[in-house]
Every structure is written in C-alpha cells, then in structure tokens.
Amino acid sequence: MNMQNAPDIRELSYAEAIREAMDIALGSDERVVLMGEDIGVYGGAFQVTGDLIDKYGPDRVMDTPISELGGAGVAVGAAMTGLRPIFEFQFSDFATLAMEQIVNQAAKIRFMLGGAVSVPLVMRFPAGSGTGAAAQHSQSIEAWLGHVPGLKVIQPSTPEDAKGMLLAALEDPDPVMIFEHKILYKMRGPVPEGHYTIPIGKAAVRREGKDLTIVATSLMVHKALAAADDLAQNGIDAEVIDLRTIRPMDRDTVLASVRKTGRLICVYEGVKTLGVGAEISAMVAESDAFDYLDAPIFRLGGAESPIPYNPELEKAVVPQVPDILNAATELAQGRL
C-alpha cells in the first residue's frame, strides 16, 4: 500500500470510507466531479455521497436525469475532455441500461483512437443480494464487465480498501468499475487518515493456511474467513485470498497459494456458470500450479436463478458460511 500523510488509523464504515475518498479527491483535484441519480441533495440511494453537495456545490456534485444511458454517456464524454468523473449507478443492475456507453465507448475509445485519448472514468456499482431488493436490484454482474478488454474491475471488501482503491482508480488513465456490495456499506473497520492508494490488480492474503486455498470476492471474503475459523477448530488450516480485482486478476498470488496448499475453492456471489470462479479455475488449470493439485477445483457460486424476494430463498441462492464450511471440509478430506 502506497500511503501518504496517513499516520493515524481510526474506524469508519465502508460507506464513510468511500465518502472520505471522494471528499479528498474533490478537494485536491478540480477535475474530479461526481455524477449520478439522486447523489446531490438526497445524498445517494445508500447515502454514500452524503452532504458533499453542500461542500462542493451542484457543479461538482451533479444529479443526472433518470437515464443511465444518458448519464453514463455524459461521464464518458467528460472524461475524454479532461475531467475525472465518478459516476454512481443507484444499483449495479441499472448499468444494463448503459452497456452501450460502458462496453462500446468507455472500454474501446483509447484503443480505437490509437492512444490519443484516454477515458479516466470511475464508475461505482452498489451490488449484491441480502437487502430484500428482489431480482432486478440484487445482481452481481462484475463478471460481465470483467469480460471486456479496456475496463478494470475491482471489488473492495473492507473500508480501508474501499477508500484506497477508489483513490487509486482516480489516478488510472483507463475506466475503472468499482463493485461495492450493499451489505458492506455499514461494515466498520480501520481506515488510515489522509491520502493513500491500494494497487489495482493485487490480491490480499487475509488468512494464511496450508491445507487448502479459498479465493473469495467482496462479501464472500468475510464469509470465507468465518468458515476458515470453524475449519480451524476441526484441524483444517485454510488460506483465504481476497481477490480484490477481477480485471486484471492477480495470477501470482493465487498460483503461489495453490502450489502451497494443493486444494482450491472459488467463492463468489455471481451465478456460478461463466463466473469469476471459472476464470480462476482456468488460470490454475493452464499453469504449472495444476500439477500441485491434490483434488479437483471446486467452484461455489450463485445458483442458476434470479435473486428471490423471500429472505430465506434469497439466502439459499448465494453461498453462505455453512456452504463454504461443508465444501472445504469435503475437499480437505478427499470426498470431492
């Protein structure tokens, strides 16, 4: 972590850490602007932007019309002309309305113009299930965007990472898509004061172990850590890797862990088929780490279903701590 003027650590919520990063960026760089539906006076659908409009005014914290396609297009154009926009979707699901601007414009303009123009754009996506928001407001679509060359896709899992990776994204010349799990917004943790960055493309080993590797993303990191604590009571030592970045993926950290433990579980909330875990599995299978495996790779992803509204059904279609615990136990004991 590259930390500047950050001597003190205190606790902030995930949402507060994001707001502080945006406050720092707005205060230090006049090119930075916030854009999105209801981010101004209302403070954002999840109150992440808060009262920043009072501090910086409506020319820097701009409410956009109810048109994701239009708002995203304005953000892309603003980035091309020298601004550093941070565009917030109310829900990640609504980005489906703006795929033209994200996939066909933001991701490709630098390539198609031979590097003459870059698109230094940050887009924020409140994502994931667990809030009872039903099928059209609870999806995990990070793998969609991770498939697109030209985009960088990150999933911070802690308040410290949420702040540091947003500040890093603002320094990047290419469009960076930040998926923020809605359940994490109230989670608290230590966050350094001042400006610091956490590199995009670098995973974090959250727990070291020797018996198996669990690679997890976003909220699933915390569920994996809880499962690892239970596994330890049964004599199974799990290593937990927080992937943090979907594209570009940290190949070295994942492969080094697999070579050490010989077993791998991929845990992610998005639908299992063609998800993040499929890419991790292929990455291992195409490397020398495959020769170190003592068991098949196990993917633990979301069910082949839209997210239900019923709270018990909602829990059932995405991995939970008992699911990780059971899969890891069977894998470690050679039953998978």
How many other C-beta atoms are found inside a 10 Å radius of the C-beta of residue 55? 12
Please name the amino acid found at residue 257.
S
C-alpha neighbours within 13 Å on the C-beta side of residue 184:
26
Return the sign of the alpha-carbon dihedral for residues 51, 54, 59, 62: positive
| 94: amino acid identity, one letter | F
Tokens 């995405």 correspond to 318
Of 137, 239, 269, 314, which is the active-site residue? 137
Using alpha carbons only, give the angle 219, 224, 227 rounded to the nearest 5 degrees. Answer: 135
d(CA 11, CA 32): 26
Q: For this structure, is 68 an active site residue?
A: yes
- CA-CA distance, 286 to 281, in Å (whole number)? 9
- Euclidean distance between CA atoms 299 and 296, whole angstroms: 10
Q: Give the amino acid at 172.
A: D
SS3 86: strand
Q: Active site includes 16?
A: no
Q: In what order do the strands lie in the sheet with 264-271?
A: 204-207, 238-242, 212-216, 264-271, 298-302
How far apart are alpha carbons 250 and 90 in whole angstroms?
29
Which of 16, 20, 68, 314 is catalytic? The answer is 68
What amino acid positions are annotated as catalytic residues? 68, 137
